[in-house]
Amino acid sequence: MSVDPFASRFPLPPNATIGILGGGQLGRMSALAAAELGYRCHIYAPGQDEPGMLVSAARTVAGYEDEAALAAFAAAVDAVTFEFENVPARTLEILAPLVPCRPGRKALAVCQDRLQEKAFFESAGVPVAPWAAVTSEAELREAVARIGLPAVLKTTRLGYDGRGQAVLRKEADIARAWETLSPRPLILEAFVPFTLELSAIAARGADGATAVYDAVENQHRHHILDLSFAPARVPEAVAESARAHAASVAAALELVGVLAVELFLLPDGRLLGNEIAPRPHNSGHWTQDACQSSQFHQHIRAVAGLPLGSPSRHSDAVMQNLVGPEGMARLPALYGAADTSVHLYGKAAAREGRKMGHANRLFPLATLERTAEAQLLSML
Ligand X SMILES: Nc1ncnc2c1ncn2[C@@H]1O[C@H](COP(=O)(O)OP(=O)(O)O)[C@@H](O)[C@H]1O
Q: Which residues define the annotated binding site?
A: 114, 154, 159-165, 189-192, 197, 220, 274-275
Give exposure, 191-211, as e/b (b: 16+ Cβ within 10 Å): ebebebbbbbbbbbbbeeebb
Q: How far is the CB of 191 from ligand X (least distance, A)?
A: 4
For residue 371, count other CB atoms closer than 10 A to its CB: 15
Q: How far is the CB of 121 from ligand X (least distance, A)?
A: 12
Residue 257 corresponds to which amino acid? G
| Interface with ligand X in residues 283-322 (CB under 6 A) | none
Q: Which residue is at the shortest CB distance from ligand X?
A: 192
Quote the CA–CA distance of 144 and 147 in Å, as a whole number: 5
The string of DSSP codes covering 166-209 is EEE-STTHHHHHHHH--SSPEEEEEPP--SEEEEEEEEE-TT--
Diameter over CA atoms, the chain: 60
The secondary structure element, H or E, covering residue 100 is none
Residue 49 corresponds to which amino acid? D
Quote the CA–CA distance of 27 and 44 in Å, as a whole number: 10
Binding mask 134-153 for ligand X (x = CB under 6 A): ------------------x-
Q: How far is the CB of 281 from Mg ion (least distance, A)?
A: 9
Is 160 a binder of ligand X (CB under 6 A)?
Answer: yes
Q: How far is the CB of 262 from Mg ion (least distance, A)?
A: 5
Residue 302 corresponds to which amino acid? A
Binding mask 259-298 for Mg ion (x = CB under 5 A): ---x------------x-----------------------
Residue from the set 155, 210, 274, 360 that interacts with ligand X by CB under 6 A: 274
Is 189 a binder of ligand X (CB under 6 A)?
Answer: yes
Of 355, 315, 356, 369, residue with least CA distance to 338 = 315
Of the pair 277, 303, the CB lying nearest Mg ion is at 277
Binding mask 220-239 for ligand X (x = CB under 6 A): x--x----------------
**Contact status, residue 316 vs residue 290, Cβ threshold 8 Å:** yes
Quote the CA–CA distance of 168 and 151 in Å, as a whole number: 5
Is 226 a binder of Mg ion (CB under 5 A)?
Answer: no
Give the interface size with ligand X as a residue count (CB under 6 A): 15
Q: How far is the CB of 69 from ligand X (least distance, A)?
A: 28
Quote the CA–CA distance of 169 and 128 in Å, as a whole number: 20
Residue from the set 159, 185, 309, 346 that interacts with ligand X by CB under 6 A: 159
Is 191 a binder of ligand X (CB under 6 A)?
Answer: yes
Binding mask 87-126 for ligand X (x = CB under 6 A): ----------------------------------------
Of 131, 320, 356, 295, residue with least CA distance to 220 = 320
Of the pair 214, 262, the CB lying nearest Mg ion is at 262
Which stretches of the chain bind ligand X, using CB under 6 A? 129, 152, 159-162, 189, 191-192, 197, 220, 223, 262, 274-275
